[in-house]
Amino acid sequence: MDKSDFATAINCIDGRVQAPVSNWIEEHFDVRYVDMITEPGAVRVMALGPLGTMRSIKQKAIVSVKGHHSSLIAVVGHHDCLAIPIPQEEHLDYIRQSVERVVSWGLSVRVVGLWVNERGEIETICDTGRSDSTG
Kindly list the domain boundaries of the chain, sorted by start residue: 4-127
For 13, counting Cβ atoms within 10 Å of its Cβ (0-12 exposed, 13-18 middle, 19+ buried), the class is middle
| CA dist., res. 106 & res. 21, Å (int) | 24
Instruction: Compute the 3-state secondary structure of the chain and give helix, strand, coil in percent, each to the nearest 5.
Output: 40, 25, 30
**Cα→Cα distances 6→20, 29, 34, 81, Å:** 16, 10, 6, 26
pLDDT of residue 134: 45
Tell me what pLDDT residue 131 has. 54
By C-alpha distance, which of 16, 31, 46 is closest to 110? 31
Query: Tell me, what's the pLDDT at 7?
Result: 98
Collect the ranges in the chain with pLDDT lower than 50.
1-2, 133-135
Rounded Cα distance between 92 and 77, Å, is 8
Residue 114: strand, helix, or coil: strand
pLDDT of 135 reads 45
Q: Taking Cα atoms as reference points, which of 28, 19, 110, 118 lies closest to residue 38?
A: 19
* Architecture label for domain 4-127: 3-Layer(aba) Sandwich (3.40)
pLDDT digits (tens, 9 = 90+) for 53-89: 999 999 999 999 999 999 999 999 999 999 999 999 9
User: Whole-prediction pTM value?
Assistant: 0.92
